[in-house]
Structure 1
Amino acid sequence: MVVKSKVESEHVNDLRNIFEILRKHKLHLNASKCSFDIGSGKFRGYMVTHHGIEVNLDQIRTIKNLRPPWNPKEVQKFIGMTAALNRFISRSANKCQVLADLGAEFTKSPLEEEGEKQNMDGKSVWTVSLQEPLTWRVYVDGVANQRGSGVGLVLVSPKKIIIEKSLRLGFSARNNEAEYEALLVGMDMVQKMGGRTVEVFLDSRFVVGQVNGELKARDLRMQGYLSQARHLQSGFESFVL
């Protein structure tokens, strides 16, 4: 947390207001980690100066020197990195679509046959082995309250690459609608990155029951969400919710 005042003479009053808010919500600070009267310096990767909060040039230099991906694994890792940063990039979904398409091209089928010809007593024998399914794990959650609606996701790729994403919905949603939105976003992201086998973890029994066919969708809005989920589900070889 950074408390920055536009005018130096107002800084004490600004701090007093912050402390009152913290006290109101019963939040505590670690005094050993607090610093006061700082003119400039680094804070959580950013440069704090009298001009404001600026980007750390060292981080920009690191990104510029980043080696381009040379194989499918590095491409998927790079896609995961961009997905984690997309909340800070305007219209990132359109800009990064080409990367998702590229990752899908590199992804192999989860059950790919590997053959090997062996000679046993003069006879040719063809042995076939099946690879383990490349399973994605997706943890999704939707939130709707008076302050707005949003979704949060954590994707874990078969290579254990963790991708986090959160976004605010542009409309007022009920809890079940927010849960459906989170589910649809997670399924769509996995498909765009070439995933064909997925396990989704969702804490809404209502949504889980409808998608698994245990509950009926009576509301028209729920029927629309369920139809979208069914459409995305058909694009997976294995889908577990």
Structure 2
Amino acid sequence: MVVKFKMKTRHAENLASIFRVLRKYQLRLNPEKCSFRVKAEKFSGFMFTRRGIEANPEKCNTIIDMRNPKSMKEVQQLTERIAALAHFLSRIDLPFKQILRKLDFGGENDRMGSRVI
């Protein structure tokens, strides 16, 4: 869970409000995974900007720079990388999932990959 506030001055008040809601619904956080007052632009593989949470350009470039998948394992690697960006790319990996179902590499599937990328 990421919580971001517009005004730093009310940080403690806002966190107290968040913790009240968590207690109300009996939700718990893992203290080892909690970070507070993080000022970094990158956090946990995502970019935090004034516009909100955005895809990390490094993750996007990894996908863009990949060669066309030639095996089932390479298609699986591609779908895993796309899944990491799924929040930002709704339904983009469907053609690749169709490829995995058919287990046919080349021809029609190369054209499908070219259309998506």
- Cα 1:3–1:62 shift into 2, 3 Å: same
Which secondary structure state, in structure 1, belongs to the residue aligned with residue 3 of structure 2?
coil
Larger strand fraction of residues: 1
Counterpart for residue 110 of structure 2: none
Counterpart for residue 194 of structure 1: none
Structure 2: 5+ residue runs without aligned partners? Answer: 106-117
- Cα 1:50–1:36 shift into 2, 3 Å: farther
> Which amino acid in the other structure matches residue 52 of structure 1?
G
- Taking the aligned partners of 2:47 and 2:96, their CA distance within structure 1 comes to 32
Counterpart for residue 65 of structure 1: 65
Q: How does 1:1-241 map to 2 (within 5 A)?
A: 1-71=1-71, 73-74=72-73, 77=76, 81=79, 85=83, 88=87, 89-90=89-90, 92=91, 96-97=94-95, 100=98, 104=102, 106=104
Deviation at 1:99, TM superposition (A): 6.5
Structure 1: 5+ residue runs without aligned partners? Answer: 108-241
Give the TM-score normalised by the residue count of structure 1: 0.33
- Return the index of the structure with the highest Cα Rg: 1
Runs of 4+ with deviation above 4 angstroms: none
Larger helix fraction of residues: 2
Deviations 1:55-78 (A, max 9, x none): 21211121122221124x347536
CA-based RMSD: 3.5
When the two structures are aligned, how many residues end up with a matched partner? 102
Does the aligned pair in 2 maintain the 1:41–1:49 contact within 8 Å?
yes
Give the TM-score normalised by the residue count of structure 2: 0.60
